[in-house]
Amino acid sequence: MQPDQASGRWQGDAADSDPQTLRKALGSFATGVTVVTTVAPDGKPVGLTASSFNSVSMDPPLILWSLSERSPSLAAFRDGSHFAVNVLADEQIELCSRFGRPVPDKFDGLDLAAGAGGAPLLPGAVAQFECALEAVYPGGDHLILLGRVLRYRWSDRTPLLFCQGRLGAAAPTEPALAG
């Protein structure tokens, strides 16, 4: 254990720490906010807010995201063939909230397009990745879903970010040039 550095707190080994403290430390890493969608076996659209999205490989084009084993949507994603990752724009906080709660019809009133395998594509997303499910791996109390990107699109709009329990917008700046 090290002393307080720059107003931070050092907690020691993760195995010995309180899960809420570990959650706070992990929450210091800003992530983009996505809504991941698929189609259930009965044909109904399924979607949820996720910030655990990451690129894996460019060749082949692979991405991953993770889903709690307690999620009511687990079977639809684990057993499905395709899913879409919709990266939310900074003005889409309402969609983030809608897909982050157990709402009866999360897709009500949305002008959807069908992506690969029928996975819903949400309007206004900054970027979208249509994926075939490549593999599912155990990851503690989550499953890690690996997707092969089949199609994608993006815009220059500002993405929505999540950091330290709050939502906000990214403020792109020019990179500093080395001297």
- Which tokens belong to 55? 């690129």
* End-to-end CA, the chain: 37
Report residue 24: phi and psi, to 5°.
-65, -45
Strand order in the sheet with 142-154: 45-50, 34-39, 82-87, 127-139, 142-154, 61-68, 54-58
Annotated domain spans of the chain:
31-163
Per-residue pLDDT tens listing for the chain (179 residues): 454 555 566 556 655 566 777 666 655 555 678 999 999 999 999 999 998 899 999 999 999 999 999 999 999 999 999 999 999 999 998 998 999 998 888 999 999 999 999 999 999 999 999 999 999 999 999 999 999 999 999 998 888 765 556 656 766 666 666 65
Beta bridge mates, 90: none
Q: Count each helix (H run) and each strand (E run) in the chain, helices first.
A: 3, 12
pLDDT value for 82: 98
Cβ atoms 152, 128 nearer than 8 A: yes
Q: Could you tell me the fold of the domain covering 31-163?
A: Pnp Oxidase; Chain A (2.30.110)
DSSP state of 9: -
Q: Which residue type occupies 116?
A: A
Q: Please tell me the pTM assigned to this model.
A: 0.82
The tally of CA atoms less than 13 A away on the side-chain side of residue 165 is 5
Residue for token pair 């002393």: 3
